[in-house]
Chain A
Amino acid sequence: MAGFRLPRSVGLLSPSLGANAICFVVPLVYFFVLSFLQVRSFQVVFDPTTSNYVRVLQQYSGPLVSTLSLAVTVAAIVTVIGFIYASACRFIGGSKGGWLLAIAMITLFGGYLAKLYAWRTILGENGILNTGLIELGLIQAPITALLYNNFAVVLALTHYTLPLAILPIYGSLRAIEDLPIAAARDLGATDFRILKDIIVPQCATGLFSAFAMTLLFVAGDAIAPRLLGGTSSSMVGVFIQDQFGFRVNAPMGSALAFTVIAGSAIILLIIGLGGGRLVRQGDQP
């Protein structure tokens, strides 16, 4: 009788699965368990409780809602702009499509903090934008509403996450064959119909990936609101950072983080189900 042999694919996948388990699953489980513990006299004590989650819902519901709303806003903007740009790369750019994509990727150079400070330089009272508008005689005094508010946070996060969102959408668009599009056009389909019935359904996975990546990045960010947000831009990431650092309360910080993860997962589930239904409706004649 032949002995049991693991499929070859399992063996090949095991290094990446192992790395994923060690770097992602184990810390996640650790922090999840931690979120049910407590801190007394600056030390974590094993006294399981759900009180951290109760406190999160009682005290942080405001920042939670505003954070997730802002994350959905940025993710929606980025997905739409990313789709337009990726479509241009795929369908209009022709042989130059790769270059257009490379240009988008180049904007990733310079790092996150540098981009945030650049936006401060652009949007500040003495910034490039205000100075330019004054020089052109379009305004008399600097517009103060450009910086230190949610507008500035959304703008900077959109700028940063856009190239990351373009990639999965472009990848999906590359898989769409030209033939069905040409056939639809020959049969008299409008551009909108082609977009709705052929392109979007076939790149739905890429669109969802772009939306999800952006949402998760923004929902956990603590730096943009600190640097560009105003006195009322209290995103949860700031409080998570404070709990781990300033309050030395890792269980509470973990509970906050897992609540954000749960909130993001619910949003993605709704978007995924809703998007799937739309795609299926589009498939029907």
Chain B
Amino acid sequence: MSQEFEKLRKAGLAMSSPSGLAQFRSFGMTTRRDFLRLAGAGALMFGTGLGQGPAMAAETVNFFGWQDYDTALDANGFFAANDIAVKSTYMTDNNEIIANAKNGGIGNMDLVTPDLLYGPFMAQIGLFEPLDLAQIPNFSSLFAPFQAMAAAKMDGQQFCLPFAWGNVVLMYNADVVKEAPTSWLDMLKPEFKGKVGLTAEMSHLVIPFTMAVAKTRAATRITKEALAEVYATLTKIKKEQARSIAPSFGDLAAQFASGEIVIAPAWEPVSVWAGEKAPTLKWSFPVEGSFSFIDNMALIKDAPHKATAYKLLNQSLSPEAQANAANKNMTAVTVEKALPLLDAKPRSLYPYEDVAGFWAARGDGMPPLWPVEKDGDFVTLDDVLSGWEEFLRA
């Protein structure tokens, strides 16, 4: 017997029989019979439910929207109590809803979270189902301005359910800026050179600065000349005044906290995210007007799990889910009954003492989206987006 065989035998990898035949041990190789035996066992386990994890929920709703809006709906174990599972995909921009719905999402997606700038356009091009309010009894709990908001309706039918909101305000470090700024154009003041913060949120910059530069509240119905002037002003701020363009409001908060910026268009929660040790952050609503956003829940056309989706739509307007979302994300609630459930911080950020008055001062509340197709002398959405890219490249 060879030396090699002897080594294998000592290692327990081979054995010899008196007949002289040798048997080698193999690893990982499976005979056809072994394979069939394993496959049969697997099929049996699958058929009997053995080997599965937790029991499958009755129905899985496909959610495409902002992160944490989905988990907020699970207040007080709502999903388990109602045998609902939610399969979530998160978006980074409203445009993605349109792209995904048009490219195979209709018939597959259930719930989405458009804002009221893009939402009406999405309803108009047939991406959403009109909502049957009889299946959403919590609708009557909405603050009156949100129940009446025209942008959430089309042809008398409700398409969007206001879920959360907030405002783009002019935030400043009150330890440094002693006099509250009153205009978006205050960011051009020489004392703020190198201390201005900007974010990469197109509508959050373009709409307020259109109000300030073009001097109109109809900020999405302007001419090309006016738009060029708006971007020229923003470019001047970017090149001469700004410290950086923050990729998110969280980053903007960090810049306020470190003292790197003292003034910026921001969202109210930035004052909380900056942390306890941050400078005193205050904000004003500039005289030219400001931009408020309202995020909604909407039902995608031909949603495959409509009945369960309606349960979630109704849940989205429950005080518990509303408070859950606000306490997690620092957004404002749209349901009055949620106010007692709010933590002190999120409650302090928004004008809850007079929600009706706040929205009345904003007319209907939301500007329409820039025209998608050519509409007289007005700039189109594409003009605005192209200008935005030019602004970023400048």
Residues in B with CB closer than 8 Å to A248 are 95-96, 98-99
Interface of B, secondary structure class, is: helix
Closest to A241 in B: B92
Q: Given A227-B247, A231-B244, A246-B202: A42 and B393 within 8 A (CB)?
A: no
Interface of A, secondary structure class, is: loop
Q: CB distance A245 to B96 under 8 Å?
A: yes
Residues in A with CB closer than 8 Å to B288 are none
Answer yes or no: A190 CB below 8 A from chain B CBs.
Answer: no
Closest to A144 in B: B194
Q: CB distance A226 to B247 under 8 Å?
A: yes
CB within 8 A of A124: which of B96, B102, B245, B260? B260
Residues in A with CB closer than 8 Å to B239 are 231-232
Complex CA distance for A226 and B198, rounded to whole angstroms: 12
Answer yes or no: A238 CB below 8 A from chain B CBs.
Answer: yes
Complex CA distance for A62 and B202, rounded to whole angstroms: 21
Q: Given A124-B258, A247-B95: A43 and B102 within 8 A (CB)?
A: yes
Q: CB distance A43 to B103 under 8 Å?
A: yes
Residues in A with CB closer than 8 Å to B385 are 246-247
Residues in A with CB closer than 8 Å to B93 are 245-246
CB within 8 A of A42: which of B99, B258, B389? B99
Answer yes or no: A239 CB below 8 A from chain B CBs.
Answer: yes
A-B contact count (CB 8 A): 70
Q: CB distance B258 to A125 under 8 Å?
A: yes
Q: Given A148-B243, A226-B247: A246 and B95 within 8 A (CB)?
A: yes
Complex CA distance for A11 and B239, rounded to whole angstroms: 59
Q: CB distance A125 to B260 under 8 Å?
A: yes
B389: shortest Cβ distance to chain A, in Å? 7
| Number of residues of chain A lying within 8 A (CB) of chain B | 30
Q: Scoring A residues 115 to 130 as 1 if CB is less than 8 Å from chain B, else 0, what string do you get?
A: 0000010001111000
Closest to A234 in B: B393
Complex CA distance for A59 and B391, rounded to whole angstroms: 12
Answer yes or no: A151 CB below 8 A from chain B CBs.
Answer: no
Residues in A with CB closer than 8 Å to B92 are 245-246
Q: Scoring B residues 193 to 226 as 1 if CB is less than 8 Å from chain A, else 0, what string do you get?
A: 0100010101000000000000000000000000
The 15 listed contacts between A and B (C-beta, < 8 Å) are A41-B125, A42-B98, A125-B258, A125-B260, A127-B258, A144-B194, A229-B244, A231-B242, A239-B389, A242-B392, A245-B96, A246-B92, A246-B93, A247-B385, A248-B95
Residues on B facing A (Cβ under 8 Å): 92-93, 95-96, 98-99, 102-103, 125, 194, 198, 200, 202, 238-239, 242-245, 247, 251, 254, 258-260, 372, 385, 389-390, 392-393
Residues on A facing B (Cβ under 8 Å): 41-44, 59-60, 62-63, 120, 124-127, 144, 147-148, 226-227, 229-232, 234, 238-239, 242, 245-248
Known: A62-B393, A231-B245. 20 other contacts (CB 8 A): A41-B125, A42-B95, A42-B98, A44-B103, A125-B258, A148-B243, A226-B200, A227-B247, A230-B244, A231-B198, A231-B238, A231-B239, A231-B242, A231-B243, A234-B392, A242-B389, A246-B95, A246-B202, A247-B385, A248-B99
